[in-house]
Structure 1
């Protein structure tokens, strides 16, 4: 009897699962699964402290069990969407974007208002935040439209992409959700640039962007308040970020130990927006660097794979999706470190939240599907961004 181990999938196996296994980037998949595992582990560390804000919850691990469900759903969605072809990615993205826009349009009338913002629709035991699904879907749709415009066949792809972007951002501002608006805008502009836009248009877009930021600051009082708190450390309203900063400092190199965190009991939204500070306090700088390293690996490896794709749509869409994940992670970590004003934005794959976890599974699934090693997907010499010009 041979002691040699027979692999589960043979390279000669042409079945869909075996083909997926040998063509998907298992490094990127492993990094995403690793972050999800960290998220589940940190939910068990944060849940007992998080439920103290809600007397109606008796189970100290209420959020942990729910996190397990969302993480399982996120993994399943990621794996299912990673099986798609580029055409399938486009189709699912368009459907998801249309549904997200439709629900966002209804939020002012049927949405649940939390902290002055109507961003969620109540579906019984689950609250859905449609903007989370609009982010990856819009990036894929915009990349498709820009690629169609490059072909020079009369498709007004640029106009369509900007029109849908303006509609999406308009609905976000109405909620209001300024953090998501800035994240989507930054990623959208990056996709536009990577698609081959002339630099003169980037200057125009940059000017409009600055004007938009000034307008947001002037029109929304909560934005001005957050900037004021950021510029005035120790202000009365800085309790949240002050406690998060103390938690991170208290963790040191190796942390206080599992379940030994103290400052997390005083950090509002610790299991969502400030889960990074919980991990830093209990597991120290080591876990912090591990999380940041996994995000960096996903972005660097993902962008490298995307840059070598031969199809302009797949190349731009994949790069935009990896950038979306990286930017959102950077914003959340920067807020926890008090480097930028606070924004209600989750840490990808790690923060508690059904919409966030499922949407991140969709985002990573799209990216994995687009970067799979299909025949002709990676042609020799395809190592630079497309040189096509979208606009005259």
Structure 2
């Protein structure tokens, strides 16, 4: 298929397409610049190699967006039912044999055998769980529901996924749980029940920390890492533990208003994860506060269009699924920026569509594809099919397989 034909087949919100394309194109500059840290400090590959890898990942990501946005939005209801057990199995497998990097427990990745790259299963699980939650909330809309009725179909899968992610990745588990609660609130789930789930989540986290401290050999490094990051955030006197934040602040301070210029960052050679977790600090060092605020503007513009698309969608599921998969993208971006300027403790969250890393890019593109699918103007027969499925919930799965 020719490029012109592909462009003619692009449907959905044009502003979202434009924002995503601009973010993807801009990402080449900071990734190419920051990857020199991996080359000259770590001794990993070449800068051109990292740039080509990032380009390939983005190309595949945009392929995901294109393919997913062509799927009618109501199909994701049935697909989420099929995919959820699969991602739970993947999470169990990842937790059981997760990769160890430099002797540290990093049980959040699995290595894909054929292509030889690592895959972070929690990112896929987060997207699938949000779609599944949106499906359940749309099904019970305008119904008086008791909490006991929601335990098995909603909260059991939510807690199972979060618990499986938690041991290796606290920040992702916490963000996912918070996003589910926000989506449930937007979907009209009773507030008193949500407050109860917050209390249950806090109690579960406290119990996990106590068990991990009592049995340190089960979850090596992770709980101590969480605690040390929070302590470093509050205790400004621990300069050694606060190394990453200090280097990030130096990078931001040296950037000033307009920055030092593309590729002229100095702190990228000293800041760990300069091409992923702390890439925003490198962006400000090279492009200044102007570049930093401009990047933030595009993420906020993406948030605005997500809300517009959700509000314009005619189906309850469409509204909820757009908010469910769209909000976490912007939320993650704001957290990444907040960590760089020391508003939050170090979380390890990447900057969506900007940071290097295959899984983050692909799953962000998957979520964007779902949003664009919901923003399409469906044909009359699709609208009628969607209405029929809302009127007959028991036919949702069978009619979409």
Match of 2:281 among 277, 282, 287: 277
Shift of 1:286: 1.7
1:184 match = 176
Q: Distance in 2 between matches of 1:227 and 1:58?
A: 33
Choose the corresponding residue for 1:117, options 97, 106, 119.
106
* Equivalent position SS for 1:368: helix
| TM-superposed deviation, 1:233 | 1.9
Q: Which residue of 2 aligns with 1:245?
A: 249
| Residue 317 (structure 2) aligns with | 313
Shift of 1:102: 1.5
Measured after TM superposition, the shift of residue 283 of structure 1 is 1.1
Structure 1 unaligned segments of length 5 or more: list them: 1-7, 10-15, 379-392
Of the three residues 185, 195, 206, the one matched with 1:203 is 195
**Closer/same/farther in 2, CA of residues 172 and 71 from structure 1, 3 Å limit:** same
1:335 correspondence with 2:339: yes
**Correspondent of 1:102 among 86, 89, 96:** 89
Of 174, 186, 190, 1:194 maps to 186
TM-aligned CA deviation for residue 93 of structure 1:
3.8
Match of 1:293 among 273, 290, 297: 297
Distance change in 2, residues 1:322/1:336 (3 Å):
same
Partner of 1:171: 164
Asked whether 1:132 is paired with 2:123, we answer yes
1:360-382 superposed Cα distances (whole Å, 9 cap, x missing partner):
1101001111122236899xxxx
| Alpha carbons 1:149, 1:157 under 8 Å: kept | no
Aligned to 1:383: none
Distance 1:287 1:102 in 2: 42
Give how far 1:272 is off: 0.9
How far apart, in 2, do the equivalents of 1:249 and 1:159 lie?
A: 51
Distance 1:229 1:297 in 2: 33
Deviation at 1:52, TM superposition (A): 3.0
Q: 1:140 to 1:62 in 2, by over 3 A?
A: same
Distance 1:339 1:216, change over 3 A: farther
TM-score scaled by structure 1?
0.85
Counterparts of 1:227-246 in structure 2, within 5 Å, are 227-235=230-238, 236-246=240-250
CA displacement at 1:137 relative to structure 2: 1.2
| Residue of 79, 82, 87 corresponding to 2:66 | 79
Residue by residue, what CA displacement relative to the aligned partner does 1:306-365 show, whole Å, maximum 9, x if unpaired? 023221111111111221111111111111111111011111111110111111110100
**Alignment match of 1:48 (pick from 30, 36, 44):** 36
Q: Which runs of 5+ in 2 are unaligned?
A: 213-222, 384-401
* TM superposition shift of 1:40: 2.0
Q: Structure 1 276/154 Cα, relative in aligned 2: closer, same or farther at 3 Å?
A: closer
Q: Deviations over 1:22-76 (max 9, x none)?
A: x510101111111111222211111112223433x34233321111111111111
Contact 1:112/1:121 (<8 A) preserved? yes
Select between 348-357 and 98-107 the one with higher mean Cα deviation.
98-107
The count of corresponding residues between Structure 1 and Structure 2 is 361
Structure-to-structure mapping, 1:346-365, within 5 angstroms: 346-365=350-369
Q: 1:317 to 1:367 in 2, by over 3 A?
A: same
Q: 1:85: how far off? A: 0.4
Q: Distance in 1 between matches of 2:38 and 2:304?
A: 34
* Alignment correspondent of 2:264: 260
How far off is 1:202 after superposition? 2.8
Q: Is the 8 A contact 1:302 1:319 kept in 2?
A: yes
What secondary structure does 2:74 align onto? helix
Q: Secondary structure at the match of 1:39?
A: helix
Q: Does structure 2 retain, via aligned residues, the 8 Å contact 1:244–1:264?
A: no
Deviation of residue 254 (structure 1)? 1.1
Deviation at 1:110, TM superposition (A): 2.6
